[in-house]
Amino acid sequence: MLHQLKIIFIIQLIITPFLFSQTIESINMIGNKNYSQSDYLEWIKLQPGQTVFDGIKDSIIYRISTNLNQRGYLHYNFVSLTMENIDDKNSVDINIAIEENNPTYFYKINIAGVSKIDSELVHSVFNSFEGKIFNKYELENSISEILTYYENSGNPFSIVKINSIDFYYDSLNIEYRANIFLTIDAKIKYTIDEIEILGNEKTKDNVLVRELRIQPGQEYSQQNINLFPERLNKLGFFEPVEKPDYFINSKGKGVLFFKVKEIQTNNFDGIIGYIPGTSASETGYVTGLVDLSLRNLFGTGRSASIKWQRLNRSSQLLDLKYLEPWIFGMPVNISTRIFQRKEDSSYVQRTFDISLQYLATEVLSAGVTLSLESVIPSDNSSNRFTVFNSTIVNSELNLKLDTRNDLFTPTNGIQFVNSYTFRQKTINGPTQFIAPNTPTKINLQKLELSFDAYFSFVNRQVFALKLHGGELRGPFFEISDLFRMGGFNSLRGYKEDQFLGSRVIWGNLEYRFLLTNRTYFFIFMDNGYLLRKEDVDRNIPKVEEYKVGYGLGINLETSLGILGVSFALGQGDSFSDGKIHFGIINNF
């Protein structure tokens, strides 16, 4: 029995405050002139319906006092603060009567320690206060602005000290005033004399230093230092880099200290299969993919890649690339590429190109590419036309703007790439398909635009938009000239390079949920448009299509690199028709 009474007593103690606690019916301000009732309600952070708590009056007085003081109303007076019970309700009306009285004004701001060079800017910031209502927030913001100015002008250790504030009443002008006395300590200019890097076990120091674009003895600027992590992140050699530390060593030298952690820069993606023959007389063949990327050879920033892919018995692709960065220590990259495509039993296409890319700034570059291309039709025992035997000389100009904050998983910034290619094509044969009216010297023009944008409105969520367009212009086009669309890097939900067109446009919309810095889950929708104009002379009908793909996927950071996997449905596909796209993300 005694045990039961104890339980009942404890339950009563718990529920009694909820049964008998009062709530706020209304809050009424009386006598306020300069600030509205909604301002006061925002300050005291109370509203009708909330529960009355112990010390509520003290809390209201403290919050109102703090906000009035910070806004220059230092001579306010609380006339009364009452809480009136409402008889038929378990609630109260809170009535606050206040006299705000006259505000205090800034009068003079006296500044000591300012050099002649900085005097004009510093005084222009603080002189604007004179005659305004004393506002703590505005004063603090201006001090912060001055400190930022000094940080970007070689004074990271500058100090703005408020020595005193003299409050007084000017009876002649009948107003409260405040004189402020400041001292600025920013006499020593600091420079970046040395760079120390910890954690780059493979990558050489000079690779990082050249990417930072810092000259020895360069004046300290916090604005520039805030950009340094993004510059290193664009190399793709490290986990996301944090802002560096700056200190003065025992020799009086200014040292910029970076801490990095290297990631896997050698990526391998591959799958090999064997397709047996369908009859006793037919031999089988090997199919698959081998994609090897070496993005930081010997820690020098050099890159090389090899890709081989065979989709069926008659089609295969070979792509070799090499990049040599910063030739002779100058911001110029040189790269070369050897490419071969065997397309079914139609033709073999080979390309050799060499490119120069001038890195004008850390975000802007321009380049030129020269290439020699040949297209050779396969043996044609049936005497059926596929493509002409031709050689093409390509001259390309490109411009690139890249403000992304990370190479693999950007959360903000854009990437814009624009290229124009002039193709001088010479038709060499087969002679039986060259009619008297067939032009053998053809000039083609190729224009491509690419735009990527990344926005983060919510923490660890990113909206990614990608647009790509290309157009060919000329008297006529062959299959080897056309743009290819479809698959992992363009239009998901369809086969790789499923569509061919002289004009293609595709767009990708992704909403990403970041699980780690470089691992994220995403949902997407892809849209694609292609046009292949009619060619009456070659019995090629006009083809114009609009395609949609959608699905979900994940980009996963692994020891082999960043693996992208997505499941996509094309237009009109059922779930069983869905396609799985996967591959190692390679930013060669």
Same domain for 571 and 486: yes
Residue 14, in any domain of the structure: no
Domain boundary residue, one of 259, 276, 303: 259
- Kindly state the tokens that stand for 136: 């703590």
What CATH number corresponds to the domain at position 371? 2.40.160.50
Torsions phi, psi of 300, nearest 5? -100, -5
Q: Is 154 left (phi over 0), alpha (psi -120 to 50) or beta?
A: left
Same domain for 196 and 152: no
Provide the 10 A C-beta neighbour count for residue 127.
13
Residue 17, in any domain of the structure: no
| Secondary-structure percent of the chain, ordered helix, strand, coil, rounded to 5 | 20, 50, 35
Residue 371, in any domain of the structure: yes
* C-alpha span between 369 and 405 (Å, rounded): 27
SS3 406: coil
What one-letter code names the amino acid at 360? A
Quick check: 521 and 473 in contact, CB under 8 A? no
- Give bridge partners of residue 85 from the DSSP assignment: 92
Return the pLDDT at 577: 83
Instruction: Decide the pairing of beta strands 389-402 and 413-429.
Output: antiparallel
Q: How many domains does the chain have?
A: 4
H helix and E strand count, the chain: 8, 29
- Kindly state the tokens that stand for 264: 């896997």
Return the pLDDT at 585: 66
* C-alpha span between 327 and 523 (Å, rounded): 41
Q: Per-block average pLDDT, block size 10, for the chain (588 residues)?
A: 49 44 89 92 91 91 94 93 83 92 93 88 88 92 93 92 92 91 90 93 92 90 91 89 92 93 83 73 77 90 91 86 93 95 86 95 94 86 78 95 89 94 90 81 94 93 95 88 89 88 94 90 94 79 91 84 85 85 66
- Give bridge partners of residue 501 from the DSSP assignment: 483
* C-alpha span between 38 and 400 (Å, rounded): 51
* C-alpha span between 571 and 581 (Å, rounded): 16
Return the pLDDT at 115: 87
Q: Where are the alpha helices (DSSP H) in 294-359?
A: none
Residue 533, in any domain of the structure: yes
Residue 68, in any domain of the structure: yes
Helix (H) or strand (E) holding 57: helix 56-70
Which residue, chain included where needed, has tokens 């064997």? 274
396's CB contacts (< 8 A; 6+ apart) are 355, 367, 368, 369, 370, 371, 419, 420, 421, 422
Same domain for 129 and 90: no
Please count the residues of the chain: 588
Range of the domain at 92: 23-99
Q: What letter would DSSP give residue 220?
A: P
* C-alpha span between 468 and 504 (Å, rounded): 8
Q: Is 575 exposed, middle or buried (0-12, 13-18, 19+ CB in 10 A)?
A: exposed
- Give bridge partners of residue 322 from the DSSP assignment: 304, 336
Instruction: Decide the pairing of beta strands 104-112 and 175-185.
Output: parallel
Same domain for 462 and 404: yes
Residue 130, in any domain of the structure: yes
Going from the C-alpha of 232 to that of each of 205, 221, 237, the distances in angstroms are 12, 17, 8
> Among 390, 422, 380, 384, which residue's Cα sits nearest to residue 538?
384
Maximum Cα interatomic distance, the chain, rounded to a whole number of Å: 116
What CATH number corresponds to the domain at position 112? 3.10.20.310
Same domain for 195 and 70: no
Same domain for 374 and 514: yes
Cis? peptide before 17, omega within 30° of 0: no
Which residue, chain included where needed, has tokens 């081998």? 290
pTM, to two decimals: 0.76
* C-alpha span between 394 and 372 (Å, rounded): 6
488's CB contacts (< 8 A; 6+ apart) are 496, 564, 566, 581, 582, 583
Same domain for 218 and 272: no
- Give bridge partners of residue 565 from the DSSP assignment: 554, 582
Question: How many Å separate Cα 317 from the centre of its chain?
Answer: 33
* C-alpha span between 164 and 181 (Å, rounded): 5
Return the pLDDT at 380: 63
Return the pLDDT at 141: 93
Same domain for 432 and 364: yes
Q: For every residue of 171-199, which 3-state class applies, written as one string?
A: CCCCEEEEEEEEEEECCCCCEECEEEEEC
Residue 4, in any domain of the structure: no
Domain boundary residue, one of 259, 287, 314: 259
Return the pLDDT at 431: 80
* C-alpha span between 211 and 197 (Å, rounded): 13
SS3 172: coil
554's CB contacts (< 8 A; 6+ apart) are 519, 520, 521, 522, 564, 565, 566
Domain boundary residue, one of 216, 235, 259: 259
Same domain for 309 and 160: no
Same domain for 248 and 337: no
Instruction: Decide the pairing of beta strands 316-324 and 332-343.
Output: antiparallel
Same domain for 210 and 108: no
Residue 247, in any domain of the structure: yes
* C-alpha span between 323 and 335 (Å, rounded): 4
Going from the C-alpha of 406 to that of each of 198, 213, 509, the distances in angstroms are 20, 18, 19
Same domain for 423 and 487: yes
Provide the 10 A C-beta neighbour count for residue 464.
20
